[in-house]
Structure 1
């Protein structure tokens, strides 16, 4: 009896009367499915019962006058509940069916068709069970991966993962054994450099032999970074790290006790050094833990994106150091308004994030707007200058309809981006609003484009003013909208980064670009292509080994590619960018900084990175078009770039009027519509003297 109740279908019913709905329930019971039903008499009752327990299905008569079915569907969506809804109609009508499906109903059944009703109920119930199992498996997988990572990090055994001869992970014990201070430094060091020279053949053979499901133990002589050697016994085995097939190396040791060091590292690792708040890493782990609680306990939580709407203006007025002062003061001020029992973190350069338990949306909005008013009225001062600060709040639910906690955070960011242009201080991401779920949503567009090859690459030539005989192109990404028009990166990249899809998108761009480039070079062209990267790839230890494999697959030399990162991202992730730069040099790839000249003391970053090109920010050229006196800042910047022995690229050249001035300044390369608009093919004639004639 108890088993039957446990397997019963928990059913919500919207109908004219409870007695008229009973034949429907009898049909389901006669098909062998136990049913526990609850008749819904009002929207308020629906809201109450959704919050009290979990439900498996809703049967809703579309034409009933008891409850507005559209409101009921919206209520289920707003509550964030994964409850499939089967609509009931008296006679078949294609327009009614289409309208119901568009509203969010999963199927529509003619009420007298028992066979269709039973089939639909069984199908939706089975699909719901699969989704619930999938959510549980995702949670369990993330928890298992987290535990494995903790075991790796804390292990006294030296453990590393190697792909294509390069390290993609090494724990503290491994780094200490070979004398490396941090992982980024080790990731730039081939595994071949860590063994004695007379052991190289043995290491190469072991890496080839022990992969996939093979494993074995080999005695070798290790090479310390200080030149010393030591005996070691290495266990090789095939493995996978963050989805990348690789080889695991385990070196046994028994004298490592760095618990105190690990504790200090842990304390520092969760704090943002500028504001003193929790940092992005800690918040990411916390929001995933919150999602696990939501799935396991059938509850909901809330996440708040607190974005600085005028961040670029603040940077322009206060500079980098002054911006940090403003951020620290803003963090201290917002702490006074922080919701009780919540987690507050600095999540991005220009945003904070708040994780809180379920609460009243109207009250949260009221408090957020009050906090915004206090921040707007506060006098932030840097070097005697008053810096206005405008914050905008985006709120979203973490519920079982999310795939993970970061999806809820992306929803909060989407609410923020919708509020900013309308000068709203607060917006809630309402899942019952179909605009948030349709193809009009940038989230949906990006996801669809990634899954259905909805991006394309255009190429714009970069021509030399100094006689360089190599061809250069800038690879420009475009997303194809449903009407065939191009969506520019600045419209979708923030959403890509918010949903942590940057690494996926970068790999798509790199793979497709090098395929096109390889074919182009096979036709006799000496061509180099510049490829833009998001911060995700700079920080991804598996990215460069993957690039190495991709280049080898199409037989391209490394110097055929120049990767580009923005000056701001290089500054924000300097440690990772430094390791990334070293790794690129091993692959013979080039590195360029873009949007250069906006950050104070930006040239200091060139001391840490091996940079081949610097592309000046287009705002310098925009300023020239408005005021001839704006040439002096550009001249100063070009002179400073050349002092670093780096090639300068000036973009956005729309006419020949300033070419002579740029040539006199010593600018190495120019780019813009005056040369050629972005094209689907690399078809510019570099043999022409058009640019020399223009000068």
Structure 2
């Protein structure tokens, strides 16, 4: 019934309550009223179902005041407009709005009450429709992607004859392993030479098909895979679109029964291989689904982030392989405590994520307390060593008022960090602190602060030497950027860079650093010094089409040889933005600039990345330098990375060198360059004596 109105009234006088109900009925609503007498009664009624509108009378000595009502609605995870009913003209509407009320109406103005209730009910209806549509859109997009990815039929999308998407079956049919290897490849390259004319003729007729003809057309043709092997297939072409842009769908129907293989692929696509738990990608899909349910009032949930305390110490004791066994044992405890409908995932490193129905505060705390107790009692046997550990957890509610999935993850992470800083082995429920900003507000704040810092010259460059272990000539420095607060103190990059990288500020900072670094490089060359700068770039620069032409102009303007500049990106940035990174590095090589991969070596097969992004320098991840003199595992890892790099004519840089012992080990392994505070901390001056290492 469209005009049905579930009404919850907080009013001591039954006659006044009946008068309000009668007034609202006269506005054309079929009213289903309930009355709450105290806080417990309010919470009980809110838990049963979500009202459409709440009326709360402002009594001088209330058993249930407006502030308590608003607090109760928040605690129960409901989204509902509250209309304050004033007994006299002295009560201030601003005070009511400040507490979160939708509006305030005087009790002696029933005509006003009808209008405000009608508006509030309409707003609530639109809010619920919006949440339903958002959820439906997310679910439709997820289902479409899953259908394409899991289809046994080979499916690809092409635009202007180039591949822009291919599902797993299509990749396997043509013997490719990486979607990026196929992306941008002309469809004609997949056709045997003798049949290319046939396909061209077919496509010419297909392009000139009558407008509005949306049916598929097919052609039987001989194709070839990446190994050059030929096979015949029926290709079906159908008009389609991706992100609103027109394209063509290619379908090659499967001829084999691959049900068992499909099940294996689906399992691997959803699972973390170390723990057997769900992986991050699948968890995010389930989180979006739970968010959609909750925002429509169809059931609340809770999001938990759980991290093993002091995990680095465990890894130092038993190595990477041994620490993986600890992760697996902890994962089994999480699964044991979670219900059938809960979702447990290994999220990242030593962090786990849980989506659970234990959403009420007391229930969630009891649920996590029992889980953390079992983790603390766990004894892991690793290579005849008994390893114990504890964990910290943060939990946040997913209810009708829940923000985006990313903001929920941010809240759970904040609560988990709070538990960890308090000593670990405990759980903390997220409670927004007074004045705490959402991620969006935080980003907007940092945009303003960074812009102001640039305008007021509170951004500066530091330089740290990169020194050859084998007596090569020339000077090399890594360029580091520092942001200063109004008090002149350095702001850690971990505070502002996440916001900068989520917005356009990262590429603004990149341009500032490049411009000022090149000015300094000009000064060095005037002094007759052969100086090379390593300059960091963020993902924002990869996604800006104008960055490469701008770099060209900056080099030309200053008449600096491009070989003097090495642009540097983190391995994770390149992996997460592989296609634009490939194009960007190709452009850099065209300018004769060189490229370095930072934090290299932590992936399962790091050298596979070099097939796509031909780096000149590999900067070994700093985690391999931890306790280098006593860790044979780290020494062996660096040796393998160095040998592999030299086998591909790449130069290796070891970062974070902190003592002379590590220096001699790295020299013996064959590392080309070193960098770290043992040589010199970052400085505003370029005065390092490079002859001291000769």
Instruction: Please list the CA deviations of residues 430-455 of structure 1 after superposition, one character each: whole Å capped at 9, or x if unmatched.
Output: 5xx442xx652564554546998978
Give the CA deviation at 1:76.
0.9
Q: What is the CA–CA distance in structure 1 between the aligned matches of 2:86 and 2:599, rounded to whole Å?
A: 57
Query: 5 Å matches for 1:249-264?
Result: 249-253=249-253, 255-264=255-264
Q: Give the counterpart of 1:521 among 555, 566, 575.
A: 555
Q: What is the CA–CA distance in structure 1 between the aligned matches of 2:427 and 2:376, rounded to whole Å?
A: 18
1:125 aligns with 2:121: yes
Q: What is the CA–CA distance in structure 2 between the aligned matches of 1:164 and 1:534, rounded to whole Å?
A: 32
Query: 5 Å matches for 1:59-70?
Result: 59-64=55-60, 65-70=62-67
Give the CA deviation at 1:532.
4.7
2:516 is matched with: none
1:43 is matched with: 39
Instruction: Please list the CA deviations of residues 613-668 of structure 1 after superposition, one character each: whole Å capped at 9, or x if unmatched.
Output: 656453x43xxxxxxxx3212432355362xxxx64514x4xxx835xxxxxxxxx
Secondary structure of 1:278's aligned partner: coil
1:582 aligns with 2:589: no
Q: Give the counterpart of 1:640 among 657, 669, 673.
A: 669
Q: What is the CA–CA distance in structure 2 between the aligned matches of 1:381 and 1:561, rounded to whole Å?
A: 47
Instruction: Please list the CA deviations of residues 463-520 of structure 1 after superposition, one character each: whole Å capped at 9, or x if unmatched.
Output: 65555689964578x7x9999997634357899999xxx99x9654544693874663
Q: What is the CA–CA distance in structure 2 between the aligned matches of 1:539 and 1:635, rounded to whole Å?
A: 32
Query: 5 Å matches for 1:169-568?
Result: 169-181=165-177, 183=179, 186=182, 193-195=189-191, 222-230=223-231, 241=242, 243=243, 247-253=247-253, 255-294=255-294, 298-338=298-338, 342-358=342-358, 361-383=361-383, 385-403=385-403, 407-423=407-423, 425-430=425-430, 433-435=431-433, 439-441=435-437, 443=439, 445-446=441-442, 448=444, 461=463, 465=467, 466=472, 473=479, 488-491=492-495, 507-508=539-540, 510-511=542-543, 514=547, 517=551, 520-521=554-555, 523-524=557-558, 525=560, 526=562, 528=565, 530=567, 532=569, 535=572, 540=576, 543-546=577-580, 562=595, 564=597, 566-567=599-600
Q: What is the CA–CA distance in structure 1 between the aligned matches of 2:304 and 2:12, rounded to whole Å?
A: 40
TM-score where L is the length of structure 2:
0.73
* Counterpart contact for 1:529–1:561, Cα < 8 Å: yes
CA distance 1:223–1:291, shift in 2 (3 Å): same
Instruction: Please list the CA deviations of residues 131-171 of structure 1 after superposition, one character each: whole Å capped at 9, or x if unmatched.
Output: 22222122222222233223323445422245798755422
CA distance 1:399–1:172, shift in 2 (3 Å): same
Q: What is the CA–CA distance in structure 2 between the aligned matches of 1:467 and 1:165, rounded to whole Å?
A: 49
1:673 is matched with: 682
Secondary structure of 2:51's aligned partner: coil
Count of matched residue positions in the alignment of Structure 1 and Structure 2: 627
Q: What is the CA–CA distance in structure 2 between the aligned matches of 1:639 and 1:97, rounded to whole Å?
A: 77
* Counterpart contact for 2:379–2:387, Cα < 8 Å: yes
Give the CA deviation at 1:194.
3.2
Higher relative contact order (CA 8 A, sep 6+): 1
* Counterpart contact for 2:344–2:354, Cα < 8 Å: yes
1:680 is matched with: none
Q: Give the counterpart of 2:679 among 658, 676, 681.
A: 658
1:149 aligns with 2:170: no
CA distance 1:176–1:328, shift in 2 (3 Å): closer
CA distance 1:464–1:563, shift in 2 (3 Å): closer
Give the CA deviation at 1:460.
5.1
TM-score where L is the length of structure 1:
0.73
Instruction: Please list the CA deviations of residues 14-45 of structure 1 after superposition, one character each: whole Å capped at 9, or x if unmatched.
Output: 34434335555555444444543322211111
1:73 is matched with: 70
2:16 is matched with: 20
2:531 is matched with: none
Instruction: Please list the CA deviations of residues 214-258 of structure 1 after superposition, one character each: whole Å capped at 9, or x if unmatched.
Output: 9896977643222234566656667555x5958444143452432
Q: What is the CA–CA distance in structure 2 between the aligned matches of 1:649 and 1:99, rounded to whole Å?
A: 63
Secondary structure of 1:274's aligned partner: coil
Secondary structure of 1:305's aligned partner: strand
Instruction: Please list the CA deviations of residues 74-125 of structure 1 after superposition, one character each: whole Å capped at 9, or x if unmatched.
Output: 211121111122334456789x655544443344455556676555444443
Give the CA deviation at 1:425.
3.9
Secondary structure of 2:127's aligned partner: helix
Give the CA deviation at 1:323.
0.9
Q: What is the CA–CA distance in structure 2 between the aligned matches of 1:259 and 1:607, rounded to whole Å?
A: 42
* Counterpart contact for 2:7–2:31, Cα < 8 Å: yes
Q: What is the CA–CA distance in structure 1 between the aligned matches of 2:114 and 2:54, rounded to whole Å?
A: 13
CA distance 1:400–1:107, shift in 2 (3 Å): same
Q: What is the CA–CA distance in structure 2 between the aligned matches of 1:565 and 1:163, rounded to whole Å?
A: 34
CA distance 1:80–1:222, shift in 2 (3 Å): same
Provide structure 2 residue ranges, at least 5 long, that are not aligned to the other structure.
508-536, 627-632
Q: What is the CA–CA distance in structure 1 between the aligned matches of 2:400 and 2:486, rounded to whole Å?
A: 29
CA distance 1:33–1:336, shift in 2 (3 Å): closer
Q: What is the CA–CA distance in structure 2 between the aligned matches of 1:209 and 1:475, rounded to whole Å?
A: 52
Say which one has the larger Rg: 2
Q: What is the CA–CA distance in structure 2 between the aligned matches of 1:26 and 1:563, rounded to whole Å?
A: 74
Secondary structure of 1:313's aligned partner: helix
Secondary structure of 1:127's aligned partner: helix
* Counterpart contact for 2:6–2:32, Cα < 8 Å: yes
Q: What is the CA–CA distance in structure 1 between the aligned matches of 2:292 and 2:374, rounded to whole Å?
A: 35
CA distance 1:453–1:534, shift in 2 (3 Å): farther
Q: What is the CA–CA distance in structure 2 between the aligned matches of 1:338 and 1:608, rounded to whole Å?
A: 43
* Counterpart contact for 1:641–1:648, Cα < 8 Å: no
Q: What is the CA–CA distance in structure 2 between the aligned matches of 1:446 and 1:239, rounded to whole Å?
A: 39
1:140 is matched with: 136
CA distance 1:263–1:120, shift in 2 (3 Å): same
Q: What is the CA–CA distance in structure 1 between the aligned matches of 2:126 and 2:643, rounded to whole Å?
A: 54
